[in-house]
Amino acid sequence: MSSQVLENKPEFKEYLKNPSVSRDGKVAAIEEMFGVSGKGKGKKISPVTQNLMVAMAGNNRIGDAGKVANAYVQLMKAKRGETDAIITSASALDAKQLAFITDVLKKQAGGKNVSITTQVNPGIVGGLQLQIGDQFLDLSVKSRIQALSTTLRSS
């Protein structure tokens, strides 16, 4: 179960978080869904995943399944040496710009795979903002203007 399933099925997410549904009811629903009881369609789900979901339902933590899935994805990316990068620009980047930035980021990451997500935020006026893991590099025009403004005020 990934966080995408929970985001795409808001009624399922609400059911899992609903405190009025008993733990036994959630366990039974999860067992049926993942095929533990033999009735479900979860034949493609591994026994480890089935057991995890049943244990989380039994401990009234099934509402955190999305967090567990996201943590697992992050661990697997770390194991494979993948790095996530978010590039924010004032306007959409063309293919040539994106290719150049991707090459630079891969070199900086020591040859690791870099998974790039792009965002457009006209509020940064120009330039780029890069989020790579827990590091943030602000090369935007907006931040330069704010820095100049701060310097001028302190003079």
B/e letters for 5-35, b = 16+ CB within 10 Å, e = fewer, are ebeeeeeebeebeeeebeeeebbebbbebbb
Which one of 30, 51, 75 terminates a domain?
Answer: 75
For residues 68 and 40, membership in a common domain is answered with: yes
For residues 17 and 55, membership in a common domain is answered with: yes
Residue 71 tokens read as 């943590």
For residues 99 and 138, membership in a common domain is answered with: yes
pLDDT in tens, 122-154: 999 999 999 987 889 999 999 999 999 999 998
More confident residue, 144 or 155: 144
Residue 111 tokens read as 């040859």
pLDDT in tens, 25-47: 877 877 777 665 555 454 567 88
For residues 93 and 54, membership in a common domain is answered with: no
For residues 85 and 112, membership in a common domain is answered with: yes
**Assessment of whether the complete model's pTM goes beyond 0.85:** no
For residues 54 and 97, membership in a common domain is answered with: no
Which one of 51, 75, 99 terminates a domain?
Answer: 75
For residues 70 and 85, membership in a common domain is answered with: no
For residues 63 and 121, membership in a common domain is answered with: no
For residues 30 and 52, membership in a common domain is answered with: yes
For residues 29 and 88, membership in a common domain is answered with: no
Counting the structural domains of the chain, the total is 2
Residue 124 tokens read as 């940064």
Note down the domain range covering 39: 3-75
For residues 69 and 92, membership in a common domain is answered with: no
**Measured between alpha carbons, how far is 13 from 65 in angstroms, rounded to an integer?**
9
Q: Which amino acid is at 60?
A: N
Which one of 75, 100, 123 terminates a domain?
Answer: 75
Mean of the per-residue pLDDT values of the chain: 83
